[in-house]
Structure 1
Amino acid sequence: MEYDGSGSSGNEERRNTRHTRQQIEKLEAYFKECPHPDEARRHMLGKELNMEPDQIKFWFQNKRTQSKAQDERSANILLRGENDRLQTANAAILEALKNVVCPPCGGPPLGKEERERSVQKLRLENIRLKKLREQLTKTLSKSKLKGPTMVDSLASAHRQQIFDTCFSYEANQNILVYRPNSSGPVTSQTVQPEYHIDITQVPEIAASAIEELKRLFSIEEIFWVESSIDGAYMIDRESYENFFHAIRHIKSSSARVESSKEFAVVPIEATNLIEMFLDSEKWKDLFPTIVTAAKTIPMLESDVPIKENCNVVQVIWEKMHILSPLVPPREFVIVRCCQEIEKGLWIIADVTISVNINKDPFSAPCYKRPSGCLIGALPNGQSKVMWIEHVEVDDKSITNHTYREVLFGRSGYGAKRWIATLERMCERMALSSVLTIPSTDWSEDTMIARGRRKVMKLGERVLNLYNEMLTMSGKVEFPQGLNGGIRVSMRMNREEGQPPGYVISAATSISVSLAPMQVFNILTDNDTRHQWDILCHNHPVYEIASFSTGSNEANRVSILKPTLGVDMGSLTMAQNSDKDAMYMIQDCYMDALGGMIVYAPLDRNTLELAVADHIDPFMIPVLPSGFLISNDGRRSTVATDAEDGGGGSLITVVFQILVAGPKSPRPSEKSVDAVSTLISDTVQKVRALLHNNPPHV
């Protein structure tokens, strides 16, 4: 008898003529990719298969029930087998204990009372050694304070404070305790719990992840199938779980598995790229639009023996976020391992390691199965990178419906986004290191032309600060209901490199019918910018310098100059002289999945400081605002060119405004309302501008 996945036997199928074989095959294929289709997708499938939406709905419900039962049976079989193996091993150990002898004297083993006395002695010795360590630490700290300079002493004390704040090690339990440091920028602060990590797991997890990733790269025809939704490749769940005996780590019925792969050739030496992957700060800077925080957790190497197939093993805490405050961030504690497979070819694998939070078991909403990349060295300083992402996630209930299509369609945190970001950042690093000005760059201001590389660095920082703001976490929230769907927060900013005082941030997301590239071209058009940008004060803006940051002509950092000052009511920026003249630094880019347009106002004095030789661009005070543009995930095929392929766009608008100085009283809700009104008016003007530019036919 044939089974159609809906709970009906083959005889019932022939009697009721409910589903044809072609319908069943199509439904089965779609189920592998999306077991929880929404109403729009059910209607689409119904039209395609000539079925009623209710039939589609009930088929998927029954199929999920059947699949869950099969998964449970498979898990039970694996668990029973594991139980049998453990019982056999336990019996063997008990039998061996009967015949064990004391190694020093060859006599019978210690009795229970002797073992308890021995354990007690070890505990007392452990307490004594801990006290001795504390005394040595205090003595060392005192000796450091007698060092040659106060600066050295303060720096040393600061480093020790950071280490003591973040890490501790329970040697007798092989447990590493990690507390994400809260001393970073205000824009990235979050209240973090303690992570308790059993470091004895690390070697086996690393070795297993490397071997699994090798198989996923080398035997592609077995594990990879082409998606019927967007044509991208995804892991065939049945083949994968049968081969690796995998079980689900997230048991929720709303959980899903995301899998994808992508490759590219990037302009960077393979060894330099690997170095950046193995340095958490450089890793964060390499993927600024995805990774918002990353810290390598130190371990005692003597307690973590490295397996043969792992040249480097790390434990990393990382937090990722993309697109909008409406998209929840993802947080992982991963084991990262690197192996040189052969000369000029490396594999880097990431996999989640189980942790306890505050010593209690923790069930995270996302779990990274073995993922990572294969990096091969190519001539002329290039590298070929093949990337695999494989993640279990349960974020349906906390993701706004506007962005679900993007996330569920694998263009959110998938391999395509990682590769697109890597390509763009490698191109940017290559261009920023060029000493001579490329023919694509120009500036009518000699001072800015000389400071081209500093301007590019400042533009990069503007983008990074904007990305950090997308989470809008760790700040005082105002009632969202009062702000018409706009998320508003306020913080006291004390960070170097940002204007000190009270800063109000506001963000909202909208959808439009234009493709991302069309939206980008309209919003970067200097002739129409004054129609939506309040900084232009209804007057034209012109570009005085432009520096390319990538092979795509849309990727550039620019210096813009409005023709007049700006009156924003209580938020005023006046121009009384050339030194007070307002400029804007704007950094923007586009790739296959969308792009960003981020800008920040600068006066002439600040701009001159930004390009000065003795000033670090990362210390220039800027407060960025701008747009993040993404495809809406509803096109049938995700295009390789952001301008083609149909479909609409999702736009996230973020404003940041300094409303009071550091010594001023806390601003009232009137200031919050003013910023909310400002972003609402801007969104309305942007909608009107986009409406007057219909999609190209």
Structure 2
Amino acid sequence: MVDNKGMNSSNRNILSRNNMPLHDEQVSNYEAQSTMIHDMYGEDGMDLPTSPKDEKTMILELAFEAMEELTMLALARSPLWLPQNNRYGPEILNEDEYYKTFPRGIGPKLFGYKSESSRGYAIILMNHINLIEVLMNVKQWSNMFCGIVSRASTIEVLTPGVNGNYNGALQVISAEFQAPSPFVPTRQAYFARYCKEHTDGSRVVVDVSLDHIRPNAISTCRRRPSGCLIQKSQNGYPMVTWIEHVEVDYGMLHNLYKHVVSSGLTFGATQWLISLERKCRSLSNMMVTTIPTADSGDVWSALSPHYDGVRVMSATNINDPGRPIGLILNVSTSFLLPVSPIKIFNFLREAKFRSQWDVLCRTGQVQENAHISNGGEQGNCITLIQVNQSQNANHNMFILQESCSDCTGSYVVYAPIGINPMHKILSGGEQDCIGLLPSGFAILPFVPNLSSSPLGGYMLDDGSEGSLITVAFQILVDNNPTSKLSPDSVTNVERFLKFSVQKIKNAVMSDVNTHFLHLPIVSAKVNGFICIEASKVLPVVSSEAYYPNQDQPTTP
């Protein structure tokens, strides 16, 4: 943490040049009540408050100092920020320079924890007032960033802000963050969120952990001042500078994902900006989460620890119209293939290759009936695929699919739907009565490597050493929500997952498919990403449909 006295002259100049107060009138209102946070913590920085009033004052002071630090970090240049190894990656903090500039901060780095830092920029196609509302309303925030935030709640509102615009608002929030793989542990954070409007019209929304002030709060992730500086751009849309600076324990992180996570592809500033852009560009507001976490609420329950790298979770739906009624199993795993993400993405999204891995399409004719571009680039689209079964016409169906590729990864999300429900919807019928059970894939580069695109955006370099693939299936195992889950059902979905993984491995590595492996997929610019979503359309598919008698699943 940096007060006015501890701030060096260059930092003071950064703020003054941008008409941003070093310590505005709100801080002075509290100076009569307390000294700076350093004095409150004591000489060793670890003294705890002795009363609720002292605690509230400390959180207020902490938030003001975090706001100043984040503003300086957003405006600073080299040597405080350094480029990554590739030209287009997010900037990372120079740790030595950071601790020189902010010698006190919220204390030294926690023992055994690893620092992650990144900074990114984007023009957001949203009114700045609405953007502030999204960031300060926890329900909207968790929905906007549902691919990263698995759950969140407001613990306390210390100050509501003035004039209904959140200026000066201060909240205490508990949140859980997730990545698209069961091999990456979720992160619990307990932090204060503060919103401040500067005199030049720019706004800051900053998070800072409260582990020193409320040490009993559950937290596995420490958030140093993180958040965004929102400024006006020439086109009238907000220019957002996003900063993520956290400390986290890598002890439970799978070795396959350590490089990907540390690079910022899962929790870094670029991921937050892309998620924001996806929602702003989205054609729908119904994001489908296909990889739930064990701690993401009361709905999903983990059945057992990872077995052979497979996670199985269960949920019971009694009255949610967005999902089929009954007992649902979610099974997921991650694995590595020595094939570039672009090639894997091409294979999984193309209807003509679907029969090589999808058991729902193995005995039928597969045809793409509709294709809607969603983002302006090849591969970013919504498609409607028709499957006509040659052996039993009663099993004919449609598959609704959305695919997207950007600089942080590629995704293919799909869901089958019956012929009659699809015809009703295409004729203008009601969609809300159709249950959703999406499945899909997340594809991340094993070695993050970005290269420039001739179209002005980014692309995942075809020179990646491999792909980290997460597959997740949701299966309705019983229409009766009160039925008990049988061990056979769990065994069957695990076998089905391994069977599908092996089919994908065999097909991708086959020489027969080499002709499609060199098609480049280029993402849109950072301010043009689309949301990875599936429409609210899905039928109930029985678990028997996944297991043809003629093929026994094999272990990958």
* TM bucket, shorter chain: 0.7 to 0.9
Q: 1:642 to 1:501 in 2, by over 3 A?
A: same
Amino acid at match of 1:367: R
Q: CA–CA distance in 2 between the matches of 1:479 and 1:665? A: 19
Map 1:144-543 to 2 at 5 A: 174=52, 198-227=55-84, 232-246=90-104, 253-299=111-157, 301=159, 311-354=168-211, 361-362=216-217, 364-380=219-235, 382-394=237-249, 396-428=250-282, 432=283, 457=284, 461=286, 463-468=287-292, 475-479=300-304, 484-496=308-320, 497-543=322-368
CA deviations on 1:591-623 (whole Å, 9 max, x unpaired) are: 101121111121234335656878464x63111
Residues 492, 662 of structure 1: 8 Å contact kept? no
Residues 268, 381 of structure 1: 8 Å contact kept? no
Shift of 1:541: 1.9
Aligned residues: 467
Map 1:81-100 to 2 at 5 A: 82-83=42-43
Amino acid at match of 1:278: M
SS at match of 1:588: strand
Shift of 1:636: 9.2
Residues 537, 565 of structure 1: 8 Å contact kept? no
State which drifts further: 631-640 or 591-600. 631-640
* 497, 519, 522: which one aligns with 1:679: 497
Question: Which 5+ residue runs of structure 1 have no aligned equivalent?
Answer: 1-77, 88-171, 176-196, 433-456, 567-573
Q: CA–CA distance in 2 between the matches of 1:609 and 1:342? A: 55
Residue equivalent to 2:508: 690
Higher helix share: 1
Residue equivalent to 2:447: 633
Residue equivalent to 1:660: 478
Q: CA–CA distance in 2 between the matches of 1:596 and 1:85? A: 45
Amino acid at match of 2:252: I
Residue equivalent to 1:607: 422
Task: Determine which structure has greater relative contact order: mean sequence separation of CA pairs < 8 Å that are 6+ residues apart, divided by chain length.
Answer: 2
The yes-or-no answer on 1:544 pairing with 2:369 is yes
Residue equivalent to 1:596: 411
Shift of 1:651: 0.3
Question: Which 5+ residue runs of structure 2 have no aligned equivalent?
Answer: 1-37, 520-556
Amino acid at match of 2:312: V
Residue equivalent to 1:620: 434
CA deviations on 1:477-499 (whole Å, 9 max, x unpaired) are: 44557x53322233323250211
Q: 1:353 to 1:634 in 2, by over 3 A?
A: same
Residues 321, 471 of structure 1: 8 Å contact kept? no
CA deviations on 1:355-396 (whole Å, 9 max, x unpaired) are: 888xx73473210000111222335553322111111111x2
Q: CA–CA distance in 1 between the matches of 2:466 and 2:205? A: 35
Residues 157, 170 of structure 2: 8 Å contact kept? no
The yes-or-no answer on 1:583 pairing with 2:407 is no
Q: CA–CA distance in 2 between the matches of 1:290 and 1:80? A: 34
SS at match of 1:327: coil
Q: 1:300 to 1:220 in 2, by over 3 A?
A: closer
User: TM-score, length-normalised on structure 1?
Assistant: 0.60
Residues 142, 151 of structure 2: 8 Å contact kept? yes
SS at match of 1:623: coil
Residues 325, 470 of structure 1: 8 Å contact kept? no
Amino acid at match of 2:209: T
SS at match of 2:281: helix
Residues 208, 225 of structure 2: 8 Å contact kept? yes
Q: CA–CA distance in 2 between the matches of 1:368 and 1:600? A: 36
Q: CA–CA distance in 2 between the matches of 1:277 and 1:267? A: 15
SS at match of 1:607: helix
CA deviations on 1:179-233 (whole Å, 9 max, x unpaired) are: xxxxxxxxxxxxxxxxxx9544332122111111111122323421234588642
Shift of 1:272: 2.4
Amino acid at match of 2:261: L
Shift of 1:557: 2.2
Q: CA–CA distance in 1 between the matches of 2:451 and 2:334? A: 23
Q: 1:468 to 1:508 in 2, by over 3 A?
A: closer
SS at match of 1:324: coil
Shift of 1:661: 1.9
Residues 365, 390 of structure 2: 8 Å contact kept? no
- Aligned CA RMSD, in angstroms, stands at 3.7
CA deviations on 1:623-669 (whole Å, 9 max, x unpaired) are: 11111111113659899312445332100011111111226642421
Residues 186, 293 of structure 2: 8 Å contact kept? no
State which drifts further: 530-539 or 255-264. 530-539
Shift of 1:253: 3.9
Amino acid at match of 1:224: W
Q: CA–CA distance in 2 between the matches of 1:679 and 1:519? A: 17
Question: Identical aligned pairs, as a percentage?
Answer: 29
Q: CA–CA distance in 2 between the matches of 1:413 and 1:387? A: 12
SS at match of 2:104: coil
Q: 1:243 to 1:687 in 2, by over 3 A?
A: same
Q: CA–CA distance in 1 between the matches of 2:46 and 2:118? A: 36
State which drifts further: 686-695 or 500-509. 686-695
Residue equivalent to 1:570: none
Map 1:83-122 to 2 at 5 A: 83=43
Q: 1:380 to 1:279 in 2, by over 3 A?
A: same
